[in-house]
Amino acid sequence: MDDLTEMLKGTLEGCVLEIIGSEEIYGYAITRRLNELGFVDVIEGTVYTILLRLEKNGLVQVTKRPSEVGPPRKFYALNDAGRAELATFWAKWEYISSRINKLREGGE
Amino acid sequence: MDDLTEMLKGTLEGCVLEIIGSEEIYGYAITRRLNELGFVDVIEGTVYTILLRLEKNGLVQVTKRPSEVGPPRKFYALNDAGRAELATFWAKWEYISSRINKLREGGE
DNA sequence: CCCCACTACTCTGTGATACCGTATAGTGGT
DNA sequence: ACCACTATACGGTATCACAGAGTAGTGGGG
């Protein structure tokens, strides 16, 4: 599948929120998880900008822990604001995807 | 539904392509059509930037016709490249939406 | 007759976002 | 000593939806 970056705008952040919501996890592993899930071209740099944004917006709790195989990891978990944002994301997704699918089937 | 603009990036152009593909239509009417379809906050300026882009990328055929109620209208129709782009758009949409829905239901 | 509403198109600028390239740092294998 | 893998960080770029304002054209009410 060729370039999906434009279509991912606005949705990738929600995907990261969902992943963080299901388990406490660190940036590098989030990238691998996204790649496994089919978002094959998403790279570390992209995920880190999203994580920085989530932290800046107060949606996550961050915990630094040492690793046995490399530099220390920053583990992310959702706080209440993050869970609320995730719920909003899914509501928007539901809204938009239903409208687009309706348009696809001939509108109205 | 609050601000959807970020999530519409990359998809709104596809929606416009789909509308143009189903009938020869002009910019102002495309905006009204989108509003009817639930994309309520989409305004003229947004649609015109998309139309200019489509024209610049050679995806549409443009025909200017006089109107009885205002300035002349620019009617848009898909050419072969436009139809190919529309097919690509739906393939991408299918790919991404299926992955996101899978993620929502617990991944893997 | 003039103002206003509605239709219709155009242009410039802005903010948000994903991505690229690169750098830095830590561990382990050869 | 070198390389691969893990892990985080940062500056710059392209693209996109949108805001805001302006320009035209037609018709109706005061």
- Residues in contact with A93: Cβ distance below 8 Å, sequence separation at least 6, in sequence order: A11, A14, B7, B100, B104
Instruction: Give the count of beta carbons closer than 10 Å to the beta carbon of residue A102.
Output: 13
Q: Does domain B5-104 have CATH number 3.40.190.10?
A: no
Cβ atoms A29, A42 nearer than 8 A: no
Q: In chain A, where are the structural domains located?
A: 5-104
Beta carbon pairs, A and B, within 8 Å: 89
| Residue B108: per-residue pLDDT | 53
Task: Confirm or reject contact between A97 and chain B (CB < 8 A).
Answer: yes
Determine if strand C comes within 7 Å of the CB of A49.
Answer: yes
CB contact under 8 A, B103 and A19: yes
Lookup: nucleotide whose C1' is closest to A66 CA = C26
Average pLDDT over residues A75-87: 96
Report pLDDT digits (tens) over B78-94.
999 999 999 999 999 99
Report pLDDT digits (tens) over B7-33.
999 999 999 999 999 999 999 999 999
Band the pLDDT of B96: cuts 50, 70, 90: very high
Provide the b/e sequence for A47-82 (b: ≥16 CB within 10 Å): beebbeebeeeebbeeeeeeeeeeeebbbbebeeeb
Residue A14 and residue A11: Cα distance in Å, rounded? 5
